[in-house]
Amino acid sequence: MLLNERQKDALTELINIAFARTGAALSDLTGNRVLLAPPQVEVYPTAELPSAVARFIPGEAASIHQVFSGPIGGDAMLLLTYEDAVRLTNLIANGHAPVTRLDESAREALTEVGNILLNACLGMFGNVLDVRVSFSVPHLHVDTVEDMVTAWAGQEIEVRYALLVFTSFRVKDAEVKGYVVLVLSVRSLERLMAEIDAWVTRSC
C-alpha cells in the first residue's frame, strides 16, 4: 500500500505532533532538555521491513513491544540498537553507576521508558484523530530484526504493513537513534489513513 504525497505529508505532520509529546516525556525522565530530529516516515509490507531496518540496525536490537487495540489496532514498538538501548538506560540512570549490558534492572528501566514513550506517541495519535486506543502491558525483547518480524508475521493470517518512523534524540552530549514501528493489518492501515484524511479536512 503506497501513500500519496498528501497522506504522507499529513502523516509526517501528525507524527511530529506526537513526537513533541514524546520528547517532553523523555525530558521529564532524564531531567534534561531533549532535542528530537524531524522524523522520517515510510510504509513497508512486513516482509520488506527487515531489509529496511537492517540498514540501520544490522545486528542485535532491543525492542519495547506493546499491543494496542481499538478502531485502529496493531503492535507498537520502540526499536533501538543494543548499544543505543544501553546508552538510553544510562541517560535515565540519575547518577547510578553506568551499565554496559542490559541486566535485569536495566531491562526493567528500559521497558518503563518504552512504555512512557509509546503511550505518549500513540496517545497523541488517538487524541488528535479522536480515536480511542488502549494498550497492553509492554514487553522487552532482545533479538535480530529478522526474528522479530518473523514473530509478528506469525500472529495473524491477514497481510500486515509496518509504519516505520525513524528519528534521533539528543540528551546532553549523547545521541540515541530510535525507531517507532507500528505493525498494522490492512484494515487498520486503511482506517488510519481515512482518519488522517478526515483530520486534514477538519484542519483546512
pLDDT-derived band of residue 155, with 50, 70 and 90 as boundaries? low
The pLDDT assigned to 36 comes to 82
Q: Is the pLDDT of residue 158 over 70?
A: no
For the chain, the domain total comes to: 1
User: In the predicted model, what is the mean pLDDT of residues 31-47?
Assistant: 82
- Could you list the beta-strand ranges (E) of 145-197: 160-171, 174-185
Indicate which CATH number applies to the domain containing 122.
Answer: 3.40.1550.10
pLDDT at position 147 over 60: yes
Q: From residue 172, how far is each of 23, 60, 92, 130, 179 by CA, in Å?
A: 14, 25, 11, 35, 20
Pick from 7, 35, 15, 48: which is nearest to 175 by CA? Answer: 35
pTM for this structure? Answer: 0.81
State the cell numbers at 105.
534492572
64 pLDDT above the threshold of 80: yes
Domain of residue 131 covers 5-203
3-state secondary structure of 177: strand
Q: Is the pLDDT of residue 142 over 80?
A: yes
